[in-house]
Structure 1
Amino acid sequence: MTLIISWIGVDDKKEGKEISSIYIASDSRYTWGNAGKFDFGIKVFGSSKYPEIFGFCGDVLFPSTILGQLIPQIDNGLLLNDHDNCDTKNEIISGYIKTSLDTYPKGFLAGTFTILHGTRNGKVFKLFKTSFSPETGIKNEEIELPKVSKKVYSGGSGKTEFDKNWEEWEKEKHNDFRTSRGVYHCLYQTLKSIKDPQTGGLPQIVGLYRNKNSRLFGIVENDKKYIYGKESSENINSTTIEWRNENFERMNPETLKIIEGAQRQPS
């Protein structure tokens, strides 16, 4: 089933508090019941041409197939236009998901699934959730985003353990109270101790800032680099994406040290 979370970062501006970033993160484990596991499964997606990010939990085959179809069409300008607002973009995307599900053999769905869609138009950020269950069918809804940095969604079979841990981060005395990094800290520590056998591996993250399009984040752990849970042993061009450590500090992928001048975060 997995663990998927989303959170926002909020800045203080002269005009008041404004959302400055939105993230979708997940673990990296695919499972086939008790038959086996694969800790390099892709669960978060992003468009390189539009400010659209996605993630899913639950059934693996349908969401991963649909998102694999959506991203190339978005990137090639087939589905969205630059002038579309957030609601219009989600209406198009959720409609695509619904019509695809209409012809999908329901007997091959592994129960339920949820697909998150984060989007931005100008300075406006929005988050939507498309969910399916055999009992209620498919439903699309907007998730309200507050004007404070915090978790805005958690789901999947790892949700119970994450939410229990999250109670500590929600205490005002916590060093990471109401911070964007706090949600990632909780995710990282939850994955290190999680008991749910369907959730595991390293975190994977996509995000949106106020400018440009989706951003993929690499993970640095124990002087090694990971993308989608897999160690990047190949000779990759590491400088094209952002890298973060367990404290969500920005890392130099060539030296594997914290970037000079980057803000250090309490652990």
Structure 2
Amino acid sequence: MTLIISWIGVDDKKDGKEISSIYIASDSRYTWGSSEKFDNGIKVFGSIKFPEIFGFCGDVLFPSIVLGQLIPQIDNGILIDELNNCKCKNEKVFKFISSSFEMYPKKILGNSFTILHGTRFGKKFRLFKISYTAINGLQNQEIELPRISTKVFTGGSGSQEFNKNWLKWNEERHNDYGTSRAVYHCLDQTLKNIKDKRTGGLPQIVGLYRVKNTRLFGIIERGTKYVYGKESSEDIYSTKIEWRNENFERMNPNTLKILEGAQRQPS
């Protein structure tokens, strides 16, 4: 299974509180049975041409296949259009996934899966959950987004441990209460101490802000850079993406220190 979470950042505007960002994050572990694991598995996805982000939990094979088909068609502008609003885009995504699902051999399908779809039209953000269970089949529903920076979804076999830990971060007296970084702190600490053998590895994150399209975040842990859970020992162009540490502080990938001018966060 896995641990997948989504959260939003909210700030104050003249007309009240408005969502300024949405994130989907996961662990990086694929498992086979109770003994085999791989901690470099991709579980979050995003379009570089449109404000669309995705993540999944549950059965690995079908979601990874269908998202691998979906993203290139979004990026090449043949599935959705810039004039499509969030609901229209999600309906097209669900139709695409449904048609692939109809042809997929059900006998090799796991018991369940969930695919999250975060999207934006103009400055408005929405989040949808496409889920499958043997009892209910394939369903599509919207997840209501509040006007406070907080967790909006958790799923997967690691979610029980995350939700238990979240009770501490979600207390009003906690330093991080009501902030988007609180969710990442909880994710980071949960993965460091997780008991569920099907969940593990480093966090991986994609997000959307009010402008531009998918933001891929690299993670810096103990002086080492990671992308999608994999150590980036290669000669990569690190400044092309954003980097965060365990406190969700913005990091300079060249110096491995907090980015100049970035706000320090309480740990």
1:14-36 Cα offsets, whole Å, 9 max, x none, are: 11100000000000000001140
Shift of 1:170: 1.1
Partner of 1:147, secondary structure, is coil
Determine if the alignment matches structure 1 residue 254 to structure 2 residue 254. Answer: yes
Partner of 2:189, secondary structure, is helix
Partner of 2:80: 80
Determine if the alignment matches structure 1 residue 223 to structure 2 residue 223. Answer: yes
Determine if the alignment matches structure 1 residue 29 to structure 2 residue 2. Answer: no
CA distance in 1, matches of 2:58, 2:142: 19
CA distance in 1, matches of 2:244, 2:71: 24
CA distance in 1, matches of 2:194, 2:252: 29
The residue correspondences of 1:73-222 to structure 2 (distance < 5 A) are: 73-222=73-222
Partner of 1:78, secondary structure, is coil
CA distance in 2, matches of 1:110, 1:82: 35
CA distance in 2, matches of 1:256, 1:61: 35
Partner of 1:91, secondary structure, is helix
Determine if the alignment matches structure 1 residue 68 to structure 2 residue 51. Answer: no
Partner of 2:172, secondary structure, is coil
Question: Which AA in structure 2 matches 1:87?
Answer: K
User: What TM-score, normalized to structure 2?
Assistant: 0.99
Question: Which AA in structure 1 matches 2:49?
Answer: K
Determine if the alignment matches structure 1 residue 45 to structure 2 residue 56. Answer: no
CA distance in 2, matches of 1:203, 1:219: 7
1:59-108 Cα offsets, whole Å, 9 max, x none, are: 00000000000000000001000000000000000111111111101111
> Displaced runs of 4+ in structure 1, greater than 3 A?
none
1:6-60 Cα offsets, whole Å, 9 max, x none, are: 0000000111100000000000000001140000000000000000000000000
CA distance in 1, matches of 2:27, 2:124: 27
Partner of 1:99, secondary structure, is helix
CA distance in 1, matches of 2:152, 2:158: 16
CA distance in 1, matches of 2:33, 2:122: 43
Q: Which runs of 5+ in 2 are unaligned?
A: none
Partner of 2:190, secondary structure, is helix
CA distance in 2, matches of 1:193, 1:152: 22
User: What TM-score, normalized to structure 1?
Assistant: 0.99
CA distance in 1, matches of 2:35, 2:96: 32
Q: How large is the RMSD of aligned CA atoms in angstroms?
A: 0.5
Partner of 1:13: 13
1:155-183 Cα offsets, whole Å, 9 max, x none, are: 00001000000000111000000100000
Shift of 1:152: 0.1
Q: Which runs of 5+ in 1 are unaligned?
A: none
Question: Which AA in structure 1 matches 2:92?
Answer: I
Partner of 2:186, secondary structure, is helix
